Amino acid sequence: MKVTSADIVISAVKPDQYPSEPIPEFALAGRSNVGKSSFINKMINRKNLARTSSKPGKTQTLNFYLINDALHFVDVPGYGYAKVSKSERAAWGKMIETYFTSREQLRAAILIVDLRHPPTKDDVSMYEFLKHYELPCIIIATKADKIPKGKWQKHLKVTRETLGLAKEDELMLFSSETGEGKEKIWGLLKKYM
Ligand code: GDP
């Protein structure tokens, strides 16, 4: 897809702050540092629109990006930081639960994992949470440039099996370094719009 415009429209913590346009929306989740911001930036051809590696302790917000005036990407704060306090974790959980259970525009969740390693316990919990709410899921296995091409299928198989990926869900390979997978992923997203 040709991205002609992309802007952050709002950082929201509660539903009355979500944008009201009835356009398709995709929520992006992933462990901190997995490469979620890099994924967003690469998909929309921007070097630095999505902030990379935001530290814990900062306000945790849902960041809405408007793309081509046609869809939203919603950047969900990363999980899996060891140092996050109980109350911060609870606030994060409540915010994303509210979002995932109430957002009508939401077409699919995009879960970013690291192709190099099996999904972590937190990744598996996140996937199970999304499935609990019966959301279609697209799993993006990123950092593919760090693995030789000949091993991609083997790593994808480990990803699929560790998550216990449902038949209806998609697993896509990606690299924000090389752009590998980008057009295929846009092609897939179009099917959900
Ligand atoms: P976030 O915390 O999930 O938003 O992660 P970032 O997008 O900030 O990425 C974390 C680190 O991984 C940064 O140093 C990125 O440059 C690096 N990174 C992200 N995606 C890729 C990728 O596809 N390939 C490689 N080689 N490095 C990546």
Average pLDDT of the residues in 159-172: 97
Residue 100 placed within a domain: yes
What is the value of pTM for the model shown? 0.95
Residues in contact with ligand 1 (CB, 6 Å cut-off): 30, 32-38, 52-53, 78, 142-143, 145-146, 175-177
Residue 168 placed within a domain: yes
DSSP run (H or E) holding 106: strand 106-114
Calculate how far, in angstroms, residue 32's C-alpha sits from the geometric centre of ligand 1.
10
Name the DSSP class of 23: -
Q: Which residues pair with 11 in a beta bridge?
A: 63
Instruction: Tell the residue nearest (CA) to atom 12 of ligand 1.
Output: 35
pLDDT band at residue 81 under the 50/70/90 scheme: confident
Calculate how far, in angstroms, residue 114's C-alpha sits from the geometric centre of ligand 1.
10
Calculate how far, in angstroms, residue 53's C-alpha sits from the geometric centre of ligand 1.
8
Could you tell me the residue range of the domain that residue 143 belongs to? 6-192
Query: What pLDDT does residue 54 have?
Result: 53
Average pLDDT of the residues in 68-78: 95
> What CATH number does residue 92 fall under?
3.40.50.300
Query: What pLDDT does residue 22 have?
Result: 95
Calculate how far, in angstroms, residue 7's C-alpha sits from the geometric centre of ligand 1.
20
Residue 86 placed within a domain: yes
Residue 66 placed within a domain: yes
CA-to-CA distance for 119 and 20, rounded, in angstroms? Answer: 34
Mutate which of 176, 178, 180, 185 for ligand 1 pocket (most atoms within 8 A of beta carbon): 176
CA-to-CA distance for 42 and 59, rounded, in angstroms? Answer: 24
Q: Is the pLDDT of residue 174 over 90?
A: yes
ipTM above 0.85, yes or no: yes
Calculate how far, in angstroms, residue 176's C-alpha sits from the geometric centre of ligand 1.
8
Q: How many domains does the chain have?
A: 1
Calculate how far, in angstroms, residue 35's C-alpha sits from the geometric centre of ligand 1.
4
Residue 1 placed within a domain: no
- Helix, strand or coil, per DSSP, at residue 70: coil
Instruction: Kindly give the interhelix angle for 182-192 and 36-43, rounded to the nearest 10 degrees.
Output: 80
Kindly list the distances between the CA atom of residue 152 and the CA atoms of 52, 76, 111, 114, in Å, as whole numbers in the listed order.
25, 27, 18, 12
Instruction: Tell the residue nearest (CA) to atom 6 of ligand 1.
Output: 35
Query: What pLDDT does residue 52 have?
Result: 58
pLDDT tens-digit readout, 23-59? 999 999 999 999 999 999 999 998 888 875 555 546 6
